Amino acid sequence: MSDAASLRHFFCDADVRRYLLDGQAVSAEWVEAEILASERRFRTGSVGLWAVRRRDDPLVIGFVGFREFFDPPELQLLYGLLPTYWGRGFATEAAATACGFAFETLGCAEIRAATDIPKGIISVGDHAAPDRKRPYLLDFSEHVQ
């Protein structure tokens, strides 16, 4: 399954949509446009979205990265996982890896993120940025294609 098809499947999950996209379903064209926008940001020296996979497993279990929101545009951390992987530390690890990249490679001074709901989501943010030294279990070798 391609990253686009995997992400489309991901965004169609009712539990995922509860926390992302205001519960709205998305089209295959929307997913393709997000991937192209992410690739464009990477090409211009900014940052986009990475597919999240477990090491040695090709299955896309989610995504993490940065996207502009609001007017004027503000780069924000964005992530999501399939419900099967919730509560297992993957979101914290994914967010920490993305934040580490933004701080150490891009030289970002701060990282912003917004959330609507649950405390569990906020706790990921509490743990993601400060802990940059621990080994990472997820493979971030490729961005979403």
What is the predicted pLDDT for the residue at 73? 78
Structural domains in the chain (count): 1
Residue 75 lies in a domain: yes
Residue 142 lies in a domain: no
Residue 139 lies in a domain: no
What is the predicted pLDDT for the residue at 33? 92
Splitting the chain (145 residues) into consecutive groups of 10 residues, what average pLDDT does each group show? 81 85 86 90 88 87 87 84 91 88 83 61 44 37 41
Residue 111 lies in a domain: yes
In this prediction the pTM is: 0.74
Handedness of CA 98, 99, 104, 110 (dihedral sign): positive
Residue 140 lies in a domain: no
CATH of residue 73's domain is 3.40.630.30
Structure tokens at 18: 């509860």
Residue 108 sits in which domain range? 3-133
What is the predicted pLDDT for the residue at 84? 93
Residue 81 lies in a domain: yes
Report whether the peptide linkage leading into residue 135 is cis, meaning its omega lies within 30 degrees of zero.
no
AA letter at 128: A
Residue 138 lies in a domain: no
